[in-house]
Each structure stands twice: as structure tokens, then as C-alpha cells.
Amino acid sequence: MSEVLQRLKQFAKSPQGRRTIEQVRRTAADPRRRAQAQRLFGKLRARRSAGM
């Protein structure tokens, strides 16, 4: 498991990782995208609780 975290840290420090992080931050700041994500998480939660 620590190898996965190490690789994530390495990616986050790379130029491509920095671009990806910045893109995710911009997307997360968009109210329309935020609402879209909340709907998706709501569906996943409902599906998870129904499966138990």
C-alpha cells in the first residue's frame, strides 16, 4: 500500500500531476460541476445502502 502512496506523491510532484491537480481544482470550484458530483455521490450512497 505504501508503494501506491509513494507513486501518487511522485505523480503529484511531476509537471503532469501539477496540471491535473490544477484542472481538478478548477472543476471542483465550478458550482454546476459540484452539483453534478453531489448527485453522483448521492446515487452511489443510495445504491450502497440498498445493497446491504
What is d(CA 45, CA 41) in angstroms, rounded to the nearest whole number? 6
Quote the percentage of the chain above a pLDDT of 90.
Answer: 81
pTM (2 d.p.):
0.60
Cβ-contact 23, 16 below 8 angstroms:
no
Q: Does pLDDT of 36 surpass 70?
A: yes
pLDDT tens sequence across 1-18: 799 999 999 999 999 999
Cell numbers 453531489: residue: 38
Please give the DSSP secondary-structure letter assigned to residue 19.
H
Q: Does pLDDT of 30 surpass 70?
A: yes
SS3 percent helix, strand, coil of the chain, rounded to 5, is 90, 0, 10
What is d(CA 42, CA 52) in angstroms, rounded to the nearest whole number? 16
